[in-house]
């Protein structure tokens, strides 16, 4: 059973009663919209024509048949945890980088080492100006979608 993308950690805005659960498909749609907002270009051959891929919100090049998922070559590439938890953890790390991985591990019932690796990856992204801007823009859209005002 998937855990809800609702958080209650110290120094992080509570998203309990005024929040809604965001599904993995909604997050994949959000990622695909942001990833290809300037248009699709195949990484293998440079073709700009595509069709629907086999996986949800993936795109397949019509020339070389290369299929690219919505998470490929993003900060969530090779992510081992469910996407809704990954977005929530990324939000936590961006809002409060000093949050302990032990605390995150207990809250989400994820191995501490997995939390540490994910947090390290997010911190690397935050230290890179280009990736940081993209990450913050993506998380802003995510937070606007999750928090109902």
Q: pLDDT tens digit string along 23-65? A: 888 888 888 988 898 999 999 999 999 999 999 999 999 999 9
Q: Where in the chain does DSSP place strands (E)? A: 50-52, 59-61, 67-68
Q: Tally Cβ neighbours within 10 Å of residue 144.
A: 10
CA 20 to chain centre: 17
Predicted model pTM? 0.74
Kindly list the distances between the CA atom of residue 137 and the CA atoms of 6, 52, 116, 141, in Å, as whole numbers in the listed order. Answer: 20, 26, 23, 6
């Amino acid at each position: 059973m998937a855990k809800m993308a609702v958080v209650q950690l110290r120094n992080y805005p509570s998203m309990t009663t005024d929040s809604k659960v965001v599904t993995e498909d909604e997050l994949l749609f959000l990622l695909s919209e942001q990833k290809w907002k300037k248009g699709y270009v195949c990484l293998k051959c440079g073709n700009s024509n595509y069709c629907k891929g086999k996986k949800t919100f993936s795109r397949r090049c019509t020339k070389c048949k290369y299929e690219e998922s919505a998470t490929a070559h993003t900060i969530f590439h090779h992510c081992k945890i469910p996407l809704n938890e990954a977005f929530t953890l990324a939000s936590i790390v961006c809002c409060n980088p000093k949050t302990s991985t032990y605390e995150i591990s207990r809250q989400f019932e994820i191995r501490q080492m997995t939390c540490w690796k994910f947090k390290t990856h997010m911190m690397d992204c935050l230290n890179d100006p280009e990736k940081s801007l993209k990450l913050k823009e993506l998380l802003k859209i995510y937070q606007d979608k999750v928090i109902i005002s």
